[in-house]
Every structure is written in structure tokens, then in C-alpha cells.
């Protein structure tokens, strides 16, 4: 139990990883811990919107842990062109260090779950990634453009950067999102 | 889906409900959304520590939603003597309004789950409440007393206010916590 409590103390640091996305009231930027809570709620509420058959409990777990590597590796917003080529290596190292605090089999299971999310291939991961792309889209629209306005992102760039990921998990969600995006840029 | 997305926008407000508990780095107070994420992680990691048989997926859901009523009813710290007698009524009203944004059957299920948590009687609720009491105890110890130091809370008051709730879900967790509390006050 000591290792488990040490891990739970360590991940408190995720509350200080600041994302680019604003809160809906536009008063401050979102942190990755509260973002992870919000996404777990997206999964709980929207579970019926997945095109494929999913295990919603696994999707919720995936979303609870999906950003923990950012404690070491930082957040990497999709609209920044300065892509760090070592990012993948950094994140794997972070996963090994942080989940490695846990007892072996528990840590190993979470590393596997995180890798499944990153790969985005399984039904559960595709739906999780779809929600992870949907939520900031809604926040940007609610804040007069949010990170799109900051980075001069166009409607067609939004469609290119959000559409494939959202629709690969849920064509219904992307149908809604597409109309919202169109109205926003109109 | 429109009602579901409206609910997911509404609960963004939980990120602005500030608790008394400090983050472990003591740089700021915790908000109720990131707290809810942290507790869901406590459940995921410590599921084997429950004394009773539990459905860990229900416990995680309970903890994800347990503080949503605070959007309307505010946070009520255990060390404050000014107890609001209307608090229960306020929280029920909040639950009806906020979960009421959802389609009927989905909203009704979440109100039931929240009431089960509040009652704290079922195995799942007892374990969820045990974790909800354990996490701030750890944060207080990590920050040289946190809310205990602020409110001049004594060792025996800590034992009285945390012990029964933590041990009713997990005697193992309370065994650990008791030693941490003793060392803290020594």
C-alpha cells in the first residue's frame, strides 16, 4: 500500500500541468487533472454515442490516466507547429517512471492501458480519443475561438485536425461538432 | 445528445469550486473537479483495500459525480462549525437542477447514484466515502497541517473526524492513516 499511496501523492502534480484550452468561462486555462475528470464524465454521459462496441469502464479508466505522462513530458497542443521529435520517447520514459512507482503488475497494467490509448486503434481507445478531441472543440467555440483564435486556425484546418479523430470514434458526435464549427466560423 | 452536451458544458463550473484543502505543493487550494479526478484515481489504485466486496466501476462513477452539486450548493469543509441547516435541501435542489439537464432516465440514474453516495450505507458508498476522507488527510500531512493548522484541529479531533469514515470502508487504510497522523502531531 505504501507504493500506491506514493503514486497517488505523485500524480497530484498533474493539477499543475496547464493546457492551452480555456475553461468555458474564459477566466483561466484548464489543467490536465480537471481535464481528465471532465473527459471521464464525457465518457460516462456519452457512452451510447460510440459507433463501435466499447467497454465504457475501460474507456473511463483510459481517460483518467491518459495525461499522467504530462507530469514529466508536458502538454503538447495540436495547433503548435514546433513538434518535438523526442516526444514519444519522453512520454514512454515518463510512463515508466510514474506508473513504475506502483507495484509491478498494477503499474504494468496501466502502462499497457496508456499505450493502447496512445495507439488509438482499439474500439475503446478510438472512442476515448474522440472525446479527448471533442471537449476542447466545445471550449473553443464557447470562448469565441479559444486556441483557434490565438493560433489563427481556419475552419478547414479545424475540420482536418478534429474531424478524423472525432468521427473515428463517433460519427454522431462529429455530425454535431461539424455544425457547431460551421456556425462558429460563419 | 443536445441535453448531454449541455450538461457537459454546465459541469465545467465545478473547476471553479474551491475547496479548503491545499495541493501537496501548497501553492494553491484544490478545486472540486481535479479533486474528483484524484479520488477516481484513488479508487482505481486502491480497489483491493476495501474491506467489503465492491463494484469498483460503480465506486469510480460515484466519485466522479459526488461533488457536482457543489456547483450550486458550495463546498462544506468538515472543520467549519457554521453548519448550514438547509445544506441537505440545497444539495438535493442542486442535484435535481444539474442532473435534470440530462435525458430523464440518465439524469435519474445519476441522482440515485449521488444519493447512495451521500447516504454512505452501501459497500460501494462506504468505500467511496472512505477515500474522500483519506485524500485530504494526506494533503494536510504533506503541507505541515494544511486545514488542521488553519483551524487549530487537534490529534484527537482528527482521529474522531476521519477515523470512523475511513475505517468503515477500509481498516487497512485507516491503519496507515492513524500512524501518519500520530507521526504528524508528534
Q: What is the structure's pLDDT at A112?
A: 98
Calculate mean pLDDT across residues A72-82. 78
Calculate mean pLDDT across residues A6-28. 97
Q: What is the structure's pLDDT at A76?
A: 80
Distances from the Cα of A164 to the Cαs of A45, A178, B34, B96, in angstroms? 22, 11, 29, 36
- Secondary structure of chain A in HEC code, one letter for each residue: CHHHHHHHHHHHHHHHCEEEEECCCCCCEEEHHHHHHHHHHHHHHHHHHCCCCCCHHHHHHHHHHCCCCHHHHCCCCCCCCCCCCCHHHHHHHHHHHHHCCCCHHHHHHHHHHHHHHHHCCCHHHHHHHHHHHHHHHHHHHHCCCHHHHHHCCCHHHHHHHHHHHHHHHCHHHHHHHHHHHHHHHC
Which member of B37, B49, B64 has the closest CB to residue A44?
Answer: B64
Calculate mean pLDDT across residues B43-68. 98
Q: What is the structure's pLDDT at B82?
A: 54
Sort B36 into a burial class: Cβ within 10 Å, 0-12 / 13-18 / 19+: buried
Q: What is the structure's pLDDT at A33?
A: 98
| Global confidence as pTM | 0.96
Interatomic CA distance for residues A123 and A46, integer angstroms: 15
Calculate mean pLDDT across residues A163-186. 97
Which member of B9, B57, B142 has the closest CB to residue A57?
Answer: B57
Q: What is the structure's pLDDT at A34?
A: 98
* pLDDT at residue A90 tops 90: yes
Calculate mean pLDDT across residues B47-74. 97
Q: What is the structure's pLDDT at B166?
A: 98
Calculate mean pLDDT across residues A50-55. 98
User: Quick check: B1 and A38 CB within 8 A?
Assistant: no
Lowest-confidence pick of A63-72, A82-91, B74-83:
B74-83
User: What's the whole-number average pLDDT of chain A?
Assistant: 95
pLDDT band at B79 (very low <50, low <70, confident <90, very high): confident
Which member of A8, A24, A30 has the closest CB to residue B9?
Answer: A24
* pLDDT at residue A72 tops 60: yes
Q: Which of residues 43-72 of A touch B (CB under 8 A)?
A: 44-46, 49, 57, 60-61, 64-65
Which member of A4, A14, A173 has the closest CB to residue B46?
Answer: A4
Q: What is the structure's pLDDT at A78?
A: 77
B18 touches A at CB < 8 Å:
no
Contacts of A53 (CB under 8 A, 6+ apart): A123
B138 touches A at CB < 8 Å:
yes
Percent of chain B with pLDDT over 90: 92
User: Quick check: B8 and A37 CB within 8 A?
Assistant: no
pLDDT tens track for B21-48: 999 999 999 999 999 999 999 999 999 9
User: Quick check: B60 and A65 CB within 8 A?
Assistant: no
Residue in B32, B37, B132 to test binding to A, most A beta-carbons within 10 Å: B37
Contacts of A165 (CB under 8 A, 6+ apart): A120, A129, A130, A132, A133
Domains annotated for chain A, with CATH where assigned, are 2-185 (1.10.3210.10)
Nearest residue of chain B to residue A103 (CA atoms): B45
pLDDT band at A82 (very low <50, low <70, confident <90, very high): low
Q: How many CA atoms lie within 13 A of A23 on its CB side?
A: 18
| Distance between first and last Cα of chain B | 55
Nearest residue of chain A to residue B7 (CA atoms): A45
Amino acid at each position: 500500500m505504501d507504493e500506491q499511496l506514493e503514486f497517488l501523492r505523485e500524480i497530484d502534480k498533474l493539477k499543475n500541468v496547464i493546457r492551452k484550452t480555456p475553461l468555458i468561462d474564459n477566466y483561466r486555462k484548464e489543467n490536465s487533472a480537471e481535464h481528465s475528470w471532465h473527459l471521464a464524465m464525457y465518457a460516462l454521459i456519452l457512452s451510447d454515442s460510440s459507433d463501435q462496441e466499447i467497454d465504457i469502464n475501460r474507456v473511463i479508466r483510459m481517460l483518467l490516466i491518459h495525461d499522467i505522462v504530462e507530469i514529466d513530458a508536458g502538454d503538447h497542443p495540436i495547433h503548435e507547429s514546433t513538434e518535438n521529435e523526442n516526444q514519444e520517447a519522453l512520454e514512454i520514459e515518463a510512463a515508466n517512471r510514474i506508473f513504475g512507482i506502483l507495484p509491478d503488475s498494477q503499474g504494468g497494467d496501466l502502462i499497457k492501458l496508456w499505450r493502447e490509448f496512445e495507439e488509438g486503434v482499439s474500439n475503446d481507445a478510438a472512442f476515448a480519443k474522440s472525446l479527448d478531441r471533442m471537449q476542447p472543440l466545445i471550449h473553443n467555440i464557447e470562448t469565441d475561438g479559444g486556441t483557434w483564435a490565438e493560433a489563427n486556425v481556419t475552419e478547414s484546418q479545424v475540420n482536418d485536425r478534429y474531424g478524423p479523430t472525432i468521427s473515428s470514434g463517433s460519427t454522431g458526435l462529429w455530425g454535431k461538432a461539424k455544425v457547431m464549427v460551421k456556425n462558429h466560423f460563419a
